[in-house]
Amino acid sequence: MKRARFTEEQIIGVLREHEAGAKTADLARKHGVSEATLYNWKSKFGGMDVSDAKRLRQLEDEN
């Protein structure tokens, strides 16, 4: 399986920048990902805190 370049904490940080008003195209260019990746992250991690993401990872590891 491919190793992830970004941790959950970093992804949530990028999404917080987006919520603060940064444009999607600018964020994608700044962090070196596609706009589609940002939208996928938003669908998976949108509205989460770092603690929620850690709990999600623990549940996925258990399964």
- Residues above pLDDT 90, as percent of the chain: 54
Per-residue pLDDT tens digits for 36-57: 999 999 998 888 888 888 888 8
**Apex 23 CA angle, 21 and 25, nearest 5:** 165
CA distance 54 to 6: 14
Question: What is the pTM (predicted TM-score) of this model?
Answer: 0.76
CA distance 22 to 30: 11
CA distance 46 to 15: 7
- Domain ranges in the chain? 8-62
